[in-house]
Structure formats: structure tokens, C-alpha cells
Structure 1
Amino acid sequence: MIPSSSAARATDVLVRPVSLGSLTVRNRIAMAPMTREFSPGGVPGADVAEYYARRAAGGVGLIISEGTYVGHASAGTSDRVPRFHGEDALAGWAGVADAVHRAGGAIVPQLWHVGMARAVGAPPVPEAPRVGPSGVPLDDSEPGRTMTRADLDEVISAFAAGAAAAEANGFDGIELHGAHGYLIDQFLWAHTNRRTDAYGGDAVSRTRFAAEIVAACRRAVAPDFPIIFRMSQWKMGDYRARLAETPQELEAVLDPLAEAGVDAFHCSTRRYWLPEFDGSDLNLAGWAKKLTGRATISVGSVGLDNEFLKTFQGQESGVADIDGLLDRLERDEFDLVAVGRALLGDPEWATKILNGRTDELTPFGTEALARLH
């Protein structure tokens, strides 16, 4: 149960609008991107539109879609994850955007390339190779192919085409998936990027590929069309991984991205309340905002009292108070908060929080996983 005093404060703090480029988000609550495999053939249908529209109608200000594959043969690893290319898929996504707008929300697609996370022989293009900056996997799986200059250009063009398609099909911006050990992040991370050309070496050089993607997307859309960049220190299967050990190292990664045209950084952490570096209470989103001056989105177990993996072990999440979150928002440590599992368990989580109906919140449990997978 969230105390009534917290509920009243949440209404004041979270209801404030915020601007990202040309977009004004009606409140400080975003829906975090969560991979689902409910798009056969990569085409989102009416059920996907209903899924997102229900959260927008439930008070979410900004919907960030599940990851959606860009138009490159090696981008994906499932034929049920949606793609963001091809007339059929884009028509489906236009329907999603329209449904979210009619429900009062804003929406951006998350554009995604999995890189070395692709399974060998997996759909949607079974014959496509696994590719990465150096062909180095994140785990003990077999190596892949090191990307050539032509490969880099093709992927950059695919992201830019996705950005242009988002604007043409009524979306309010885009998010680039540069987190969790997928392709863009594989370039950022020294463990998977062992190149000796201009795209490898020090932190600034490892950021070059990501910055060129951002710049290409910026050229493909209107100057004030929002570009969000999702980043993380941790990787899938390696929670101890870090891009930066100090604020100065983090600044070396983020500055080229901000200069290339990023409007907001979406900083993925497992627990939003943990400080990122010694000597400061700022979390990762707080540091990103301080270092770049750009808007930031924080995420990580918001409103819940355990972690995602605990749910797979049969442990239901309880409803946790959000006083610490409100403290950080009141002092403008970051600008928005992304909510994931809590919105799966309760599509009306946002409107209940914003209207003081916290006694009606539904916990996230194993039943809610059916809405994700």
C-alpha cells in the first residue's frame, strides 16, 4: 500500500508536462519497451494496437514500443517480434500510432538491431549471418562475422529509413536501442568491440558508429522530431558490465551522441534508486542529464518490491512506495520515469497513481507475464 501522503504528492509531481523536441508529453510517465512476440511475420495487428492504446487510455504520457527490427537481414532473431520496414508492418504500426493518439497518448517506436545476440539460423532471415563490431559474442556461443565498412553503411541507412518511416506514419519521435548488449551497445563496449579502425579503440572511437546512426536519423527527419537514445551499463547475462567507471568516462560516451542529435537519454538500470558512481546519489539518468544537459528518462523496478527475474521464479511483486522516485523528480534529477512490469500487471497504473487511487493498484505477478510473452 502506498501511503496517502505519497499518493497526493505523486499527483503534483508526475502530472507536469515535459517537452522533448517538438513533442509535449502530458505527464512524466512513460511505458518502458518490453519485448513481446505477438506479431506473426513481424506485422503488428489490431491486438498490438489495443495493447498500447489501453496503457495510453490508462494515463501513460509516452509509450515507447517494444523493440522493432530495422530493415537489415541480420537485425532480428524472431519472426514474431515486429519489424519497422515493409508496407505490411508499417501499415500495422500506423494503426498502432493512431490508436495511441486517439487514447490521448504519444508514442515512439524503439528501433533495434540485435547484432551478435542473433541466434544462428533464426528467422526472420535464417541465412543471415550473425554480425557485430568484431564478431565477438556476449556469451560462450560461436563467433560471428566482423562488420565491414559496407555493413556499417547498410545498418546506418536502415536506422535512418526507420526514423523517416516513423515520422511518415504518424509517430511522435523514435528511440534507438543502444543498450543491453545489442548491436549499437556492442560497439560501445570494449569487450565486444576490438576493432583497430576508426570505430574501435578509446571510448570516443567506440561511440562513432552510434553517433553516425544518430546523425543519419537526424538528417532523415525534421530538426525538432525527437530522438531518444536508450543506453545501459549492464548487458543481458552480465549485470556487472560497465561502459564507464567514472563520470568522465560516461561523458566521453554521451557527448558525441548529444552532439549528433540526441534529444533525450533513456538510461536503463535494474534499480532506479541506486547511485551510479561513488560520492554521489545521482543514478545513471541523473548523471546523463548533468553531463549533457539533455532530458533523461529513468527506469528500473519502479513501484515494485522485487526484480523481474524473481517473477519467473514464482515470486509475485508487491506494490512499493515511490517516495524516493518523487524526491528525485522534484529536484529534476531526471525528466521522465519509464514503468514496465507495473503496467503489465495493471494497465491503469498511471491513472491510479495520478489520481490518488493507489489502494486499487494491482501487483505484478506470474499471470501478467502472459501479457509480455
Structure 2
Amino acid sequence: MNTFTGRLENDGRATPANLFAPLRVGKLHLPNRLAVAPMTRVSATADGRATGQMADYYEAFAAGGFGLVITEGLYTDKAHAQGYLFQPGLADDAQRDAWRPVVERVHAQGGRIVAQLMHAGALSQGNPHRPTTKGPSAVLPAGQQMAFYRGQGQYRMPEAMTAHEIRAAVEGFAQAARRAQQAGFDGVEIHGANGYLLDQFLTAHTNLRDDRYGGSLDNRLRLTVEVIQAVRQSASAGFVVGVRSSQGKVNDFTHQWPGGQDDAARIFCTLGAQAIDYLHTTEFEAWRPAFGESGPSLAALARTHASVPVLANGSLHDAARAEGVLSRQEADFISLGRGALTHADWPARLRAGMPHEEFDRGLLAPIADLDNAARHRAQVQLA
């Protein structure tokens, strides 16, 4: 377990200074408490390589004052990890090399950048590598595929992963982390949230296994723990490793852990006991109680039970909300999605006292890629 400095000392009042206080995350020194959340943009080449357009996109966040940039989810192997067509990856050396100029441009602007590592599992809706999907069990995912990521209709029925396929998935995370470090990234974030593979193993109704990966909560957490350990072993000392955790899923938005705060305590104690540098919690509204009408938020529960910095995500593009989460010591830093998409210079605008506009959903429709966003912005300017 890692210790850290940078927790805010104040009288409980929300002040803009909270958002701009420095923070140490592992051996990484961040100039402020503002991060860009991972957001799927399906804008890579067909074979998963980052592009110059993506370099422009990520560089803009660092130039706009965000201390940390977290990439969209990058698939980890060329078997069953890829979730979406035109999703970028870190599954081979060509993909690794394509990320180098992106990382260099973020660093040139004084930013830090972390690669989110993702295995879609049963929620894969666009994978040219395999015709089938894999998950912990043969359980049809709830909901519909996401149209703005080029999906249509129901998800496919997944096949239950074999022990060999589980080991291969763990190795995929480890190899992707090694490539991320070779590409110059400052760290990786293991995607254990939002209904993707690691979350599918954690969730009882999608994990019906009767082996060491199923049944008890500890067994259902086992794959996440094994991935953390493999990733940590694959990277050199000082390379940051984070984990993202959530209750809701992209296909099951209102899902909550059935054991309430007891489940949260066990999950966050287990994750916090691993060799990780931060936990990234995400809810629709990060400041809301995690369970019921009262009580602590999910971020606050993570902060209580894990002695690592907690990154809170969820509708925190209102500066007062973001500052409040920090001043109440529910989290140590915050990540923005919609706010960052609206203004890549959100931090600089806040420092200058400039207004923040409302998020325009046209940026993500009909396809949530960078081409659509550029067209939409051009049309708005001409209107």
C-alpha cells in the first residue's frame, strides 16, 4: 500500500485554491487537482493506432491547464479485449509507437498522461479480431449496444472464459502496461468499472462461475487483483498504477452493489491493499450518497477504506461542486468528462474567471468521434 502527501488542510470551505493545489500520486507530482476523465472517442485507425488528430485532442487538455490527462480505454490484446471499431489499443508495438508523439506533445505542454487499459469482455460490440465475445459466464448483457460507438441492437451472448483465456487476458494487461511505459506514459489506469470485463467478474449476476473466480466477493475480485499484480510486476518502479471502479455500467446505469456500504468497504479495502497509486471512482453525480438517500458518496467510501489518493468523477464540471468534493475531503482530485469536452481549457478559464458553457450533446452525436465533434463545432460557429 502506498502512502502519499497532498491531502487538503482547511476549514471545510470550498475555495478555488483547492482545485489548484499540487498533489503527489505515487512518484508523480501533479500541479493541480484537475484531471481529464477517460472518454471513448473511437477515432483511431482501423488497426488501433493513435493519429495526429488524437494528438491534437490530448495536447489541448494539457495546454488548457489540466494537470493529468487519462486516455480513453485502450484495448489490451488482439483476442477479445477490443470493445469498439476504431478504438485505439496498446496490443502491439505499432500501436505503442503511435502513442509516442501523443505523449510527447502532452509532456511538452507540462501535462502528465496515463493510459487507461480496458478489456471489454461481454460488452464488445466491434472487434475485428474475433467473431465471438467472452465474459465470466454465458449471460446475455442487459441493454442495447451504443449507437454513438457504431453499435446496433442487443449485445451478443458471450462465451464463458476458460482458465487459459483468463490467464491470457491478465497477460494482455501486463504487456499493454509494459508498452505504455515504453511509449513514455506516466502510468496506467486499470479499467475495473462501467460493466467491462473486470466489472463483469465482480458482478454476481454476470458471474455465475463455480471456480476460484466465482461465488464469494473475494473470488469475484480475484481477477482484478491478479491484473493489478501482473501490471505492477510488468512495469518499473515509479510507474503509476491506478484502478477505476464504479457501481453503474454503460449497459446497466442504475446498478448498485447489493451489499451496500459493506460491499464498498470490502472492495476498497481489497483494492487499496494492492500496490496501486490511486483509485478512480465514477458515479453519475459524484457528490450523491452511494446508497440510499443519505450517507457517504462512493468516492468518500473509497477514501475511507483505501490509503491512496481518490480521484472522483461524475458531473463535477460545476466548479463549486468540484471544490466542495475536495473541501469536504471526499476525494483528493477530480476528473472531468463533459466539462473537458466543452472546454479543453477548463482550468485556465476557471483561473481567469471566465464562464463555462453548458455541454453540447451534439459533440457526441451521431458518432462520438473527433470528426463529428469538429463538424459540429464548425456548424455552430456558422449558425
- TM-score, normalised to structure 1, is 0.87
Equivalent residue for 1:100?
106
- Aligned partners of 1:364 and 1:327: how far apart in 2? 21
Equivalent residue for 1:83?
89
- Aligned partners of 1:254 and 1:204: how far apart in 2? 12
Equivalent residue for 1:24?
29
- Aligned partners of 1:335 and 1:367: how far apart in 2? 32
Equivalent residue for 2:221?
207
Q: Find 1:182's aligned residue among 188, 196, 218.
A: 196
Structure 1 unmatched runs, 5+: 1-7, 304-319
Change (3 A) 1:279 1:366: closer
Structure 2 unmatched runs, 5+: 1-12, 143-153, 370-383
Equivalent residue for 2:41?
36
Is 2:151 the counterpart of 1:136? no
CA contact (8 A) 1:77 1:124 kept: no
- Aligned partners of 1:244 and 1:263: how far apart in 2? 27
- Aligned partners of 1:21 and 1:124: how far apart in 2? 37
Q: What pairs up with 1:57-76 in 2 under 5 angstroms?
A: 57-76=63-82
235-244 or 13-22, which deviates more: 235-244
Equivalent residue for 1:312?
none
Change (3 A) 1:166 1:80: same
Equivalent residue for 1:117?
123
Q: CA deviation at 1:10?
A: 4.7
CA contact (8 A) 2:141 2:157 kept: no
Q: CA deviation at 1:324?
A: 3.5
Give the total of aligned pairs: 344
CA contact (8 A) 1:72 1:155 kept: no
- Aligned partners of 2:27 and 2:78: how far apart in 1? 29
Q: Find 2:58's aligned residue among 41, 52, 55.
A: 52
CA contact (8 A) 1:245 1:277 kept: no
- Aligned partners of 1:343 and 1:9: how far apart in 2? 21
79-88 or 20-29, which deviates more: 79-88
Equivalent residue for 2:304?
290
CA contact (8 A) 1:14 1:28 kept: yes
- Aligned partners of 1:28 and 1:39: how far apart in 2? 29
- Aligned partners of 1:326 and 1:287: how far apart in 2? 18
CA contact (8 A) 2:299 2:330 kept: yes
Q: What pairs up with 1:254-265 in 2 under 5 angstroms?
A: 254-265=268-279
Q: CA deviation at 1:367?
A: 4.1
Equivalent residue for 1:358?
354
Is 2:261 the counterpart of 1:235? no
- TM-score, normalised to structure 2, is 0.85
Q: CA deviation at 1:279?
A: 8.0
Q: CA deviation at 1:277?
A: 3.1
Q: CA deviation at 1:105?
A: 0.5
- Aligned partners of 1:83 and 1:323: how far apart in 2? 36
CA contact (8 A) 2:300 2:331 kept: yes
Please state whether the residue corresponding to 1:201 is helix, strand or coil. coil
Change (3 A) 1:293 1:279: farther
Percent same amino acid among aligned pairs? 32
CA contact (8 A) 2:299 2:310 kept: yes
CA contact (8 A) 1:233 1:244 kept: no
102-111 or 363-372, which deviates more: 363-372
Q: CA deviation at 1:87?
A: 2.3
175-184 or 255-264, which deviates more: 255-264
- Aligned partners of 1:198 and 1:285: how far apart in 2? 29
Equivalent residue for 1:310?
none
Change (3 A) 1:219 1:232: same
- Aligned partners of 1:95 and 1:215: how far apart in 2? 29
- Aligned partners of 2:38 and 2:263: how far apart in 1? 27
